[in-house]
Amino acid sequence: HLACQVVYHFLLCVRRSEPQCSAAEVAASVVQVVELAESELRRRQLRLVHHVAARRPVLVMDENRMRQALLNLIKNAFEAISGTGTLAVSVKSRPQNRVGIEIADTGAGIPAGKLERIFSPDYSTKEKGLGLGLAIALAIIRAHDGELKVASEPGRGTTFEILLPRRIDNA
């Protein structure tokens, strides 16, 4: 299937090419992405809860790619909410010298049997979806030596947590 081959080759490029990293404040990137999504959030009448710890960690990262990963996760979250709901985004220090970015929604949730498939480039629950958003986000996060965790409960929502290594000595 041609579409799957195109996606596969795109993901190989994303995984193989080195991120263009520099020191960046992760919270600023999160705020920029939230601002990009705000008009859509208002249009959908979704409530946004945004929390950034007082100490704003600086990481070595490719800001453009990380913003793309965040945008994909946020877009996925608000598309999971039908009617009104809440999207919560937070940045926190985590154990093992890592920083966590959490994106939680009050959407439909994901059944346990489907959780293992959501990062596959050809899997989508949307009629017009290509299944690329989560696959691309995961590839970007892994290129930063990070992890992407997901917890979901059908009918209650889904939480994605990006865990990134702190490579700059800051609090």
Q: What pLDDT is stored for residue 86 in this prediction?
A: 93
Q: What pLDDT is stored for residue 105 in this prediction?
A: 95
What are the residue ranges in the chain where pLDDT is below 70?
1-19, 53-55, 123-131, 167-171
Indicate the pTM of the whole model: 0.82
C-alpha dist (Å) from residue 96 to 13, 58, 108: 30, 16, 32
State both tokens at 158.
């889904």
Q: What pLDDT is stored for residue 1 in this prediction?
A: 46
Q: What pLDDT is stored for residue 41 in this prediction?
A: 87
Q: What pLDDT is stored for residue 171 in this prediction?
A: 45
Backbone angles phi and psi of 97, in degrees to 5: 55, 45
- Identify the DSSP state of 69: H
Q: What pLDDT is stored for residue 120 in this prediction?
A: 80
The full length of the chain comes to: 171
Q: What pLDDT is stored for residue 109 in this prediction?
A: 92
Amino acid at 80: A
- In sequence order, the 6+-apart residues with CB closer than 8 A to the CB of 1 are 122
